[in-house]
């Protein structure tokens, strides 16, 4: 008995395709910023679950082709993929990475308090997104609090280990495995791949390679990223489908803990009294970081309202 031919996802209105391109651009831009998760942006813009499902189908197709080769099921998985979502999002992400890498690095390094203030507001308000996605069934207050607290503490503590020196000429094996780990953060809200690269000293080196079109470095990084996605997306998809509430609670905790990286006032490298990355009391500049934090929170709030209205209109 043969399985029925899968129905290809329906075509979308051109304006929706344009919106998905913008979503991809925002996700790609977020991945360039230490402390900000592309997965968080995907959650806020309402594309997270669909992107995880689409990525799982693409990766399943690749495995069918490479380890089979099973061309029939390879085609089946490709037909199940929502290319009307995936293609514009990927193009938007690539556009952001290739055009904004230099400017983003300059902003983060030259205006650290202002950059962290903006992203603190973005991520803090974004915590509402997985909270709103929590299923009403399966509530267990003590367990829920413990999951959120544990995830927050883990993120907070791990972020405190950051502050490694930049590797100007890293070995390619380090680049490969760093990419495999960092790309996993792309699909976990609250976990920043860029911050991981910053912690191990590859952030500026990687953005510089993108800005300078260093094809050798980019190729090794892309290969590592493909390995990371191929081994992780299926696990995350299973968790979201089988243990959705616990997975979302863990994401909430990770997002709360990740705010440690985005507190605007932190000790700089070379500060012997506090150590790089130590949290400081608010000090000058004050107006800029606080104003940008409010602006970032307001921007996410508007996105949440728009996505809520879209969901109501579509009957979701």
Note the pLDDT tens digit of each residue in 99-150: 877 777 678 778 889 988 988 888 788 788 788 888 888 888 899 999 999 9
Which pLDDT score, from 0 to 100, does residue 3 have?
Answer: 45
From residue 126, give the alpha-carbon distance in Å to each of 33, 47, 120, 154, 263. Answer: 15, 14, 10, 19, 15
Spatial CB neighbours of 283, under 8 Å, sequence gap ≥ 6: 265
| 174 inside domain | yes
Report the number of distinct structural domains present in the chain: 1
Give 290 or 94, the one with higher predicted confidence: 290
Domain-located, residue 1: no
223-261 per-position pLDDT tens digit: 998 888 777 777 877 887 888 899 889 988 988 887 887
Q: By mean pLDDT, which of 7-21, 147-161, 176-190, 296-310 is the weakest? A: 7-21
In-domain check, residue 178 = yes
Average pLDDT on 272-278 reads 62
| pTM assigned to the model | 0.66
Q: Of 261, 193, 219, 174, which is closest to residue 41 (Cα–Cα)?
A: 193
Nearest CA to 51 out of 15, 88, 94, 101 is that of 88
Helix (H) or strand (E) segment spanning residue 43: helix 38-44
pLDDT confidence of 304, banded at 50, 70, 90? confident
pLDDT at 6: 53
| Lowest mean pLDDT segment, chosen from 50-64, 181-195, 230-244 | 181-195
Confidence (pLDDT) at 2: 44
pLDDT of residue 1: 41
CA distances 13 to 47, 69, 214, 231, 308, Å, are 16, 35, 37, 33, 19
Sequence-separated (6 or more) residues with CB below 8 Å from residue 110: none
Does residue 6 lie in a domain region?
A: no
Q: What is the pLDDT of residue 315?
A: 61
**Would residue 286 count as lying in a domain?**
yes
Q: Is residue 163 part of a domain?
A: yes
Q: Which residues contact 204 (CB under 8 A, 6 or more apart)?
A: 105, 109, 166
In contact, 115 and 265? CB cutoff 8 Å: no
Residues 192-218: what's their mean pLDDT? 81
Least confident of 76-85, 182-191, 231-240: 182-191
58 is in which domain, residue-wise? 14-314
Question: What's the confidence (pLDDT) of residue 271?
Answer: 60
Three-class DSSP labels, 123-140: HHHHCHHHHHHCCCCCCC
Q: CA 134, CA 229: separation in Å to the nearest integer?
A: 25
Quote the pLDDT of residue 165.
55
State the chain's mean pLDDT as an integer.
79
Buried-exposed string 187-212: b where 16+ CB fall within 10 A, e elsewhere: bbbbbbbbbbbbbbbbbbbbbbbbbe
Asked if the model's pLDDT at residue 37 lies above 80, the reply is no
Mean pLDDT of 191-214: 78
Residue 202 inside a domain? The answer is yes
158 within some domain: yes
| Residue 273 pLDDT level (bands cut at 50, 70, 90) | low
Within 68-82, residue ranges assigned H as helices are 71-80
């Amino acid at each position: 008995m043969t399985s029925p031919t899968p129905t290809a996802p329906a075509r979308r209105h051109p304006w929706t395709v344009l919106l998905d391109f913008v979503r991809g651009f925002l996700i790609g831009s977020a991945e360039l910023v230490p402390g900000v998760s592309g997965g968080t942006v995907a959650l806020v813009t309402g594309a997270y679950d669909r992107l995880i499902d689409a990525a799982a189908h693409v990766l399943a197709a690749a495995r069918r082709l490479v380890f089979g080769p099973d061309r029939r099921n390879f085609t089946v998985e490709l037909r199940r993929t929502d290319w009307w979502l995936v293609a514009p999002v990927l193009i938007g992400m690539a556009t952001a990475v290739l055009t904004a890498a230099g400017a983003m690095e300059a902003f983060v390094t030259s205006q650290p308090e202002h950059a962290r203030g903006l992203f603190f507001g973005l991520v803090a308000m974004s915590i509402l997104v997985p909270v709103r996605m929590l299923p009403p069934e399966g509530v267990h207050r003590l367990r829920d609090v413990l999951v959120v607290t544990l995830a927050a503490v883990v993120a907070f503590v791990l972020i405190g280990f950051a502050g490694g020196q930049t590797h100007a000429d890293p070995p390619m094996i380090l680049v490969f495995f760093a990419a495999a780990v960092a790309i996993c953060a792309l699909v976990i809200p609250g976990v920043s791949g860029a911050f991981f690269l910053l912690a191990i000293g590859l952030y500026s080196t990687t953005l510089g390679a993108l800005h300078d079109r260093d094809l050798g470095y980019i190729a090794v990084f892309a290969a590592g990223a493909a390995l990371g996605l191929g081994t992780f997306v299926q696990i995350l998809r299973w968790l979201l489908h089988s243990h959705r509430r616990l997975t979302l609670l863990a994401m909430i905790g990770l997002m709360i803990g990740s705010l440690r990286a985005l507190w605007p006032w932190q000790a700089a490298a070379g500060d012997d009294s506090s150590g790089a990355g130590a949290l400081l009391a608010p000090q000058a500049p004050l107006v800029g970081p606080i104003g940008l934090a409010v602006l970032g929170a307001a921007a996410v709030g508007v996105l949440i309202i728009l996505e809520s209205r879209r969901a109501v209109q579509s009957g979701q």
